């Protein structure tokens, strides 16, 4: 049964808020009356976004500068919310990045940072904010997974594995919190019009399909929360692709995605 979430008067903390899906979440939640805590590395962008949200929507927008590849960052973010005197009602674990190319040639340090941002930071931040939500009997956790979470993705192996972890983590939390008053959802977008592919360093092969607007990802995610869904895969093509691992062997699925994403030339 659908039960619409009321965001007015709440506070949302959004990681990776300086651009892309994170900035889109901040804009939509502010438009619905939610105060926001914007977390990312790029202070100037965060301040510009915060000023725009306050001016446009009349909400409070706080800026917390943090590098989530650092192990101490989640604790620092949590401490910053205490210093600001806000309690977080909505946690949006959005920050993440990927890479493209054979694993044998990948930079080990960059892959380590990817695991810290895509896996360790969401777990640590959820540890810090979920218990208070459970105690209050109210709260929301949104994890930005990926359509890559449902199958191995050659040439983006660490990224896809990190999103598979986040997907499983989210679904387990969703089940644990069915009767706590806390809603949990994972959104699994495919190629989205963000800076992701600039960071990856390859556009055509890595993205595998046309890009969608970040605002559409946000709308689909909030609709899924209203429905109480465990996750939402963005785009019909990718909804079907997410079902393929149920029909094919794991080896067949891996071979198929390798052919689809193989570097050209």
CA separation for the pair 160, 151 (Å, rounded): 8
For 22, half-sphere exposure in the C-beta direction (CA atoms, 13 angstrom radius) is 27
Choice among 19, 145, 162, 170 that is catalytic: 145
- Whether the CB-CB separation of 254 and 209 falls below 8 Å is answered with no
Neighbours of 54 (CB within 10 A): 16
Q: 155 an active-site residue?
A: no
Give Cα 215 to chain centroid, integer Å: 13
Choice among 19, 163, 170, 196 that is catalytic: 163
Choice among 7, 155, 159, 196 that is catalytic: 159
N-terminal to C-terminal alpha carbon distance within the chain: 51
Q: 163 an active-site residue?
A: yes
Residue carrying structure tokens 């046309």: 210
CA separation for the pair 64, 80 (Å, rounded): 7
Q: Which residues are catalytic?
A: 145, 159, 163
């Amino acid at each position: 049964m659908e039960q619409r979430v009321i965001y007015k008067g709440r506070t949302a903390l959004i990681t990776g808020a300086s651009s892309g899906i994170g900035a889109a979440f901040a804009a939509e939640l502010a438009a619905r009356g939610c105060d926001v805590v914007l977390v990312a590395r790029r202070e100037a962008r965060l301040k510009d976004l915060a000023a725009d949200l306050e001016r446009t929507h009349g909400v409070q927008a706080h800026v917390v500068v943090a590098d989530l590849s650092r192990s101490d960052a989640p604790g620092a973010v949590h401490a910053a919310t205490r210093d600001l005197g806000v309690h977080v009602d909505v946690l949006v674990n959005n920050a993440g990045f990927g890479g493209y190319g054979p694993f044998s040639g990948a930079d080990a340090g960059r892959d380590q940072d990817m695991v810290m941002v895509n896996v360790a930071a969401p777990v640590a931040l959820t540890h810090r904010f979920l218990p208070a939500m459970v105690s209050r009997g109210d709260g929301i956790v949104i994890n930005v997974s990926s359509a890559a979470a449902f199958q191995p993705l050659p040439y983006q192996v660490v990224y896809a594995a990190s999103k598979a972890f986040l997907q499983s983590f989210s679904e387990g939390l969703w089940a644990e919190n069915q009767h706590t008053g806390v809603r949990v959802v994972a959104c699994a977008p495919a190629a989205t019009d963000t800076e992701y592919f600039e960071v990856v360093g390859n556009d055509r092969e890595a993205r595998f399909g046309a890009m969608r607007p970040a605002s559409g990802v946000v709308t689909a995610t909030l609709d899924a929360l209203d429905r109480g869904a465990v996750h939402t895969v963005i785009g019909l093509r990718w909804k079907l692709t997410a079902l393929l691992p149920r029909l094919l062997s794991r080896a067949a699925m891996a071979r198929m995605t390798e052919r689809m994403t193989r570097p050209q030339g």
